[in-house]
A and B are shown apart, each in its own frame.
Chain A
Amino acid sequence: MFEITTNHYLVLSAMLFVIGLVGILTRRNMIVVLMSIELVLNSVNLNLAAFSYQYSDLTGQIMGVFVIAVAAGEAAIGLAILVGLYRLRGTTSLDHASELKG
Chain B
Amino acid sequence: MEFLLVNGPGLLFYLFAALAVLSAILVVSLRNPMYSAFALLVSFLAVAALFFLLHAEFLAVVQIFVYGGGIMVLFLFVIMLVNLHRIQEAEIYGMQWPAALLLAVMLIGLVSWVVARVQFSPANLAPATLVSVDGEVVGNVQAVAWQLFQQYLLPFEIASLFLLVAMIGAVVLARKD
- The answer to whether A61 and B115 touch across the interface, beta carbons within 8 angstroms, is no
Cβ of B170 and Cβ of A80 under 8 Å apart?
Answer: yes
Which residue on B lies nearest to A1, using beta carbons? B7
Question: B7 contacts A19, CB within 8 Å?
Answer: no
Given A19-B28, A27-B28, A29-B92, decide whether A11 and B71 contact each other with a Cβ distance below 8 A.
no
Query: Taking the complex as formed, is A58 at the interface, i.e. its CB lies under 8 A from any CB of chain B?
Result: yes
The reply to whether B47 and A46 form a contact with Cβ atoms under 8 Å apart is: yes
Do A93 and B89 touch across chains, with their CB atoms under 8 A apart? Answer: yes
Contact A7 B115 (CB under 8 A): yes
**Cα(A36)–Cα(B129), bound, Å:** 34
Could you tell me which residues of chain A, from 43 to 101, have a CB within 8 Å of some CB in chain B? 45-46, 49-50, 52-54, 56-59, 61-62, 64-66, 68-77, 79-84, 86, 90-95
Query: Within B121-177, which residues are at the interface with A (CB < 8 Å)?
Result: 122-124, 127-130, 140, 143-144, 147-148, 152, 155, 159, 162-163, 165-167, 169-171, 173-174
Closest chain-A Cβ to B59's Cβ sits at a distance in Å of 5
Question: Separation in Å of the B23 CB from the closest CB of chain A?
Answer: 10
Residues in A with CB closer than 8 Å to B174 are 79-80, 83-84
- Which residue of chain B lies nearest to A53 when distances are taken between CB atoms in the complex? B54
Q: Would you call B173 and A71 a contact (CB within 8 A)?
A: no
A54 to B47 CA separation, bound complex (whole angstroms): 17
**Contact (Cβ within 8 A) B107 A18:** yes
6 A-B residue contacts at CB 8 Å?
A2-B10, A8-B17, A22-B28, A39-B24, A62-B152, A92-B87
